[in-house]
Amino acid sequence: MKIAIIGCGVMGTGVGLTLLAKGHEVSCYNRNPANTNNATLLSAGARLCGSPGEAAEHASHVIVLVWNEAALHEVVDGTGGLLASARAGQVFIDMSTQLPQTSRAVAAQFETLGASYIDAPVHGSRAEA
């Protein structure tokens, strides 16, 4: 399965490494290109991308793990964001912690494009990822 990870902090890196170990093809985007997690994911076989939209372009599933609402809007609505490449049938899984009204608004944006949006906030840290 082709999966994109948007946000390669502690949780995003853990999820990405787990998916790679299970044999999935993983494309990643990190807002901070200097983050050392990028090298970890790259050495494990992930493809690093220059924008969220590029990472998600060929993925059937897109997992978003960003820090806050501003970061979510940046990767969804910003230049090269996820909405620019979203397509019918694609599944977006937001594992960030957002306000319910934010999740509903973002979900509506994806649903108008025929994509699915799942609000799935996580709890834990690296070991749980």
For 56-73, how does the pLDDT look when each residue is reduced to its tens digit (9 = 90+)? 999 999 999 998 999 999
Regions in the chain scoring below 70 on pLDDT:
123-129
pLDDT of residue 124: 63
What class does CATH assign to 2-119?
Answer: alpha beta
Cβ(106)–Cβ(77) below 8 Å: no
CA distance 58 to 47: 12
- Structure pTM? 0.92
The distance in angstroms from the start CA to the end CA of the chain is 18
Of the candidates 59, 55, 58, 45, the one whose C-alpha atom is nearest the C-alpha of residue 76 is 55
